[in-house]
Chains A and B, each alone.
Chain A
Amino acid sequence: MLLEPFEFGFFVRAIIAASLVGGLCALMGVYIVLRGMSYIGHGLSHAVFGGAVVSAIMSINFFVGATIWGFLSALLIAWTTRKNPIGSDAAIGIITTASFALGIAIVSRSHTATQNFEASLWGSVLAVDRGDLIAIAVAASIIAVIFFVAYKLFLFATFDPDVAQFYGVPTGWVDTLFSLMLAGTIVVSMQVLGVTMIAAAVVIPPIVARLLTNSFRTMVWLSTGIGMICSVLGIYISYFVDVSSGASVVLLSAALFVAVLSWTKIRGLLLSGQGTALTQLPRESGGTFE
């Protein structure tokens, strides 16, 4: 009975898609969270919705059109904050909501398109077809390879972008590449998780991983693993309780976050004096200078 959903081809596709998307969002999320740009995941996913609608109207391939749209939005955000006294949070708020509103405006005028975009907003396992699966697998592979090969560059540029530049790291190119990767991630994740749920899939797994480790390398692996497991379990559960797949994944991740946070707090109290990873104070070790 518990294996029943696996008899359906659409469900197997959905599970594979979910594990890839969950891992991908969580991997991107490590860099997003550590750069303090959690809000951009939320913003860009809305911006990409506008791009998706415009692509559909103009009969451009969804993945290509929406990725370019999201990438341009990210560049526009960066450009706006660089040239003007505008904070990045405000720039994200303006550009992405305008883009989202454009998508909504077009959808509300052309009534025929409404049905398809509902899936983009809320996420649906049923919406994943073979083509989507291939697109997800390609995007996930490319992004994983980039993070692997340029591991050192991304680490330095994330930890201390200003100083990384002094050490010769091409931080401008790293940022641009990152924006493109983020746009691609959001575009392939839209059908599975939905625009409104992507932010949580990007933010929760790395935060849970951060609570459990002080090492960057471990955090990358842990976050990706948590993202994959939560997505797969969330979609599996959604089959039985009949809720939208995105909501199911997010609620499961949030529950895990609460559980891990509670556990670290309790452990911190039990081992009082040592604290949790996030609240550890610098230990004064006198006599280190001879």
Chain B
Amino acid sequence: MLHPPELEHLHRPDPDARPIVELKNVSAGYNGVPVLSDVDLKIMPGDFVGLLGPSGSGKTTLLRTILGAVPVQTGELRVHDTPARARRMPAGYVPQLETIDWNFPVTVEEVVMMGRTMSNAWFPWFRKQERQLAHDLMERLGIADLSKRHIRQLSGGQQQRVFLARALVSSPHLLLLDEPTAGVDVKTRDDVMHLLHDLNHAGVTIIQSTHEINTVAVHLPRIVCLNGSIVADGPPNRVITPHILWEVYGAEMPVIQYHGMPMVAESAHFWIGRNGGEPVSTITEDSHREPILPHAHPTADNIPAHHHHHDEDNPSRPS
């Protein structure tokens, strides 16, 4: 199911709010070599932001920089309105599932409770209220009855929920996720995205990195494109254009419209095959041809991409 765009107006920024994360002209990297340079980014409370970019573009580095694990070489990073060095951050973090050691002997409950390690660090047990809190959270995420299971004995979606629960058990205002939908099937991906939307509606600010352009284009109100620095930042309609995607990925990606949402037809061959060998969407300056949909689904809106009148079709998107 596609996420209805009507819900997105709930995230219209409050003009008086202070950014929860603010990067001013930040360069960051390891051993003096910057991975990110000149990054200006403001994340407002209640934002739901997708980070797009090719491998090595600095998505994970940006998340780690916000978490304070990557040295800021120049510029300024403020999280919760405090400078980077002087904070104890109540941010939740969900790593890529492929980084987890699935042979490690821990149960679901043990992993979830790790999220509260520092709440009472030098005491061997968790308090009763903490356990109750974790149980309630697991109940809401639908993993309470799995609490005694080993982490290997779970489906992909359940594994994702376990690590989401670990991130949420300390009640963070800010949630960072590194490719939460990598390597899961379509249904699970959709479920995870809906779960994140629910959390976002409950007031959690979310930043997630991803390789899946269409998933963020459909689900997220704001997309930041990275390639060493920020290439584009805005709502999907503004960001998911052949031109910007060329700049970000260095690859030609035709963009189509489906129910008013931009989507990428990732394989150019798809179009070449159906259109007599001619790519239908190009990004060259002299060509302003709009994508043509030779065999489009009958219900698809064949609305051209990146045109201002398009916003009228979709008034709820923040501009």
> A148-B124, A152-B124, A169-B117 known; A216 and B106 CB under 8 Å?
yes
Chain B residues near A148 (CB-CB < 8 A): 124
A240 within 8 Å of B (CB atoms): no
> A148-B124, A214-B107 known; A167 and B157 CB under 8 Å?
no
User: Chain A: which residue is nearest B106 at the CB level?
Assistant: A216
Bound Cα distance A162, B99 (Å): 10
B121 within 8 Å of A (CB atoms): yes
Bound Cα distance A168, B89 (Å): 8
Does the CB pair A149–B124 fall under 8 Å? Answer: yes
User: Chain A: which residue is nearest B116 at the CB level?
Assistant: A152
A137 within 8 Å of B (CB atoms): no
User: Chain A: which residue is nearest B115 at the CB level?
Assistant: A167
Chain A residues near B106 (CB-CB < 8 A): 155, 159, 215-216
Bound Cα distance A150, B121 (Å): 7
**How many chain B residues touch A (Cβ–Cβ < 8 Å)?**
44
Chain A residues near B126 (CB-CB < 8 A): 152
B298 within 8 Å of A (CB atoms): no
- Contact bitstring B141-183, A, C-beta under 8 A = 1, else 0: 0100000001011111111000000000010000000000000
Q: Which of A152, A283, A284 contacts B117 (CB 8 A)?
A: A152
Bound Cα distance A34, B104 (Å): 7
Task: Tell me the minimal C-beta distance from B132 to chain A in angstroms.
Answer: 17
User: Chain B: which residue is nearest A209 at the CB level?
Assistant: B105
Chain B residues near A215 (CB-CB < 8 A): 105-107, 110, 150
Q: Which of A34, A149, A284, A286 contacts B122 (CB 8 A)?
A: A149
> A153-B121, A288-B155 known; A162 and B101 CB under 8 Å?
no
Bound Cα distance A153, B159 (Å): 22
Q: Which of B101, B107, B152 contacts A281 (CB 8 A)?
A: B152
Does the CB pair B118–A150 fall under 8 Å? Answer: no
B12 within 8 Å of A (CB atoms): no
Q: Which of A152, A168, A213, A285 contacts B105 (CB 8 A)?
A: A213
On B, residues with C-beta under 8 Å from A are 64, 67-69, 88-89, 91, 93, 95, 99-107, 110-111, 113-115, 117-118, 121-124, 126, 142, 150, 152-159, 170, 187-188, 191
